[in-house]
Chains A and B, each alone.
Chain A
Amino acid sequence: METSAQNIADISHLVTQYQAVPGGLLPLLHAIQGELGYVPESTVPAIATGLNLSRAEVHGVISFYHDFKTHSVGRNTVQICRAEACQSMGSRQLEAHAKQALGIDYHETTADGSITLEPVYCLGNCACSPSVRINDDIVARVDAARFDELVAKLGASQ
C-alpha cells in the first residue's frame, strides 16, 4: 500500500497546473490517470484542497465517469464496443469469446496483469464493425480469430 504522502507529492505539480483552469477537475483527473494509470483514493484530499472542493465532490466526479479508475489496471486496456452497430455485426459473440479467452469479465484484469477488459459504447467506427480499442488504437472488423491475434500480440498468455 502506497502512503498518501507519496501520492500527494506525486500529483502536486499537476494540481498546481490545473488549479486556476476554469472547470479544471476533469483535465486534472485525466492528467493524474495519464501519469499514474489510475486515480488513487489517497490523492483525493490533495485534489480537493488544491481545487477548493470538498472530498465528497471530488469523489462524486471520479465515480460518475466510466473512464476514471480508482484501482490499478492492466498494462493494456482492451475495450470491446457493445453499441448497436457493433451488435448488428456480432459483437455479442465477440464479447463472449473475449471473456472466455481471457478468463475474465468486464472491469477485470488478467492474472498476469497484462490486460484489463472494458466495455465501451461506440468508438465511432460503426461502418466497419465490430470495433475494439486497444489502448489508443482502434481496430475494425474484429472476429474471434482476429481478437486472439491481437491479444497474442500484446504478449498475454492464452
Chain B
Amino acid sequence: MKFYIPQDTTALACGAEAAAHALQAAGIEPVRNGSRGMFWLEPLLEVDTDAGRIGFGPVSSKDIPSILDALEADASSHDLYLGQVEQIDYLASQQRLTYARAGLGDPVCLDNYQALNGFKGLKTALAMTGQQIVDQVKDSGLRGRGGAAFPAGIKWQTVHDAGGSAAADKEPCQKYIVCNADEGDSGTFADRLVMESDPYQLIEGMAIAGLAVGATQGYIYLRSEYPVAHKLLNTAIERAVAANFLGENILGSGKTFHLEVRLGAGAYICGEETSLLESLEGKRGMVRAKPPLPAIEGLFGKPTVVNNVLTLAAISTILEQGAETYQNFGMGRSRGTLAIQLAGNIKRGGLIELAFGVTLREVVEEYGQGTYSGRPIRAIQVGGPLGAFLPESQWDTPMDYEAFAAIKAMIGHGGIVVFDDTADMAAQARFAMEFCVVESCGKCTPCRIGSVRGVEVIDRIVANENRENNLILLHELCDTMEMGSLCAMGGMTPFPVRSALAHFPSDFTRQGRGDN
C-alpha cells in the first residue's frame, strides 16, 4: 500500500506535517503529493489499495493509528473514510485540464510528470516554427487568466513580430517571457496550486512560449507570501535543467530557454504587469503608462510576454491535446476552462475547474454547500479586492467574462469570497478604500489621495454626518478614481464600494457604531 499526504500550503497549514510524522512513526514513508484542491478535506490522506485510491480526511496525527487499523480490517468503517478519491462528487464533476495532474504524485518528480503526459507539448513545440505555435494558441481561443482576459495568441503574435526579423548578420533581439505569479487577490490560490502541485506544467508552458516568440530568458515573478511554492519551483527548475528540458540546446534541438524565479517583496500593485516589470528591473513597483505595450517595450525595454501562471500552464495542454480540444470547452468568447477558487465563509472551499458558463449559485450552493458558519450567504465578492459585491439577485449570472462585465462585475482571476449575513458591507466598502491606501503605488493622484479621502467620506456617511452631500461626494470621488487612474488599482477600487452602496444601502445607515 502506498500512502500520500500533500505538501501544499493549505495541507501544511491544516497539519499535514504532523500527520506525515505519525505515519513515519508507524514505519510508513508517505509520498508527499500536491493537493487535489479539495481544501475542506485537508490534510487528505490517500492510500493506494487493491480497491483503488481511497481517501481519509481531514486527518490529524491522532487519527493515523485508527486509520491503519481500519485498513487492516474494513477501511469503510472509519469515520473519516471518503471512498475512492476520484469519485468524490466535488472532484468527479469537474472538467480538469490544468489540474488534471494536481495531487496525483510528488509534484517535483520528473518521472511522474512525464508518465502523466508531461513535456509532450514541449516536444511537439520543438518540431514547430514559432509562428505555428502562435497560431495554435490563437486557435485555442485562450484568453489571459490574470484578470484582463486579453487573447493570449494576439499578445504572443506581437512579441513574435517585434524587434524585426532576425537577419543572419544581426544579433536576434533579446525577448523575455515573464510569468506573473504575484497572485495577490484575496480568495485566489489557483496559481499557487499549479506551482505547488504541478510546477513542471508551468515550466513547460514558459519554455513553449519562449520557443514561440523567440525568447531565451524567462522569469517567474513570485510573491513572497508563497514560501512553499518558492521552494518547490526552485527544485523543479533545478531538475528540469539537469534533465535538459530547460537551458541550452533543449533536448538536442539547438533551442535555448533559461528560467529563474524572482521574489516580490509584499506589494499588491506588482501584480499589475507594468509595475511587475519595474519591480523585476529592481525598481519601485510604479505603474507605467501604456503605450508602449510590454509586448513591444517590456522588461529592460525589450519585447516581453507577460502572462499569468494559469495562462502559461494551459499552453502545455493546448500543445499536447491540440487547440481544437481546448476550444471545445466554454461558451461564447470565453473558451477553455476556468479555475474557480471558492473561499471565505464556505463549507467546502477549494479549487473547481470547469468550462466557462457555470452560475455562481451552482458553485456556492452545490460545490460549496453554503457557509462554514451555517448562516445564510449575504454577499459574494468575485474577482478579488477590486471585484464587486454581488447580492443574491445576481447569483444566477453565468461565469463568463462578458456576462460578468454586463453586470459591472468581473471574473478576474476567478476568486470567489463568500460572506454570511453577519458581514457589514459598509465596513467592507471602507476596507476596499483602505486597501487602496496601503497598496497604491502612488503614481496617480486619484488613487493615492482619492483612497484616503474615500475612507474618510465613508466614515462620515456611516456616522450620518451631512449624509446626502457625502454620498454625492463619494460617487464623484469614485468617478474620478475610475476615470483618472492609470491602472485597475485606482480604476476599480470603486467597484466594491459602489456595489456595496447599491445593494446593501442599509449597512451605511447605522448610527452610533462602536468603531466611529
Contact = CB atoms under 8 A, between A and B. Distances in A.
B283 A61 contact: yes
B385 to A, nearest CB: 6
A112 to B, nearest CB: 25
A88 interface: yes
B13 to A, nearest CB: 4
Interface string A5-33: 00000000000000000111111011000
B90 to A, nearest CB: 12
A84 B9 contact: no
Given A121-B438, A140-B13, A64 B263 contact: no
B341 A139 contact: no
A117 to B, nearest CB: 15
Interface residues of B, number: 60
B379 to A, nearest CB: 9
A121 B431 CA distance: 12
A141 B347 CA distance: 13
Contact of B282 (A23, A92, A136, A139): A23
Interface string A41-55: 000000000010000
Given A30-B265, A122-B185, A128-B39, A88 B420 contact: yes
A123 B227 CA distance: 10
Given A64-B267, A127-B40, A139-B13, A85 B225 contact: no
Given A126-B344, A138-B9, A87 B184 contact: no
Contacts of B372: 89
A133 B226 CA distance: 10
Contacts of B495: none
Contacts of B268: 121
Contacts, number: 150
Interface of B: 9-10, 12-14, 39-40, 42, 183-189, 192, 224-228, 262-268, 279-285, 300, 341-346, 349-350, 372, 381, 385, 415, 417-420, 423, 427-428, 431, 435, 438-439, 441
A86 interface: yes
Given A86-B186, A89-B345, A120 B9 contact: no
Given A88-B345, A126-B186, A133 B225 contact: yes
Contacts of B284: 60-61, 64
A22 B186 contact: no
B282 A26 contact: yes
Given A89-B372, A124-B226, 16 more contacts: A23-B282, A30-B224, A61-B284, A65-B285, A66-B267, A67-B265, A68-B265, A84-B187, A88-B345, A122-B188, A126-B343, A127-B39, A128-B13, A128-B349, A129-B345, A140-B14
Interface in A96-125: 120-125
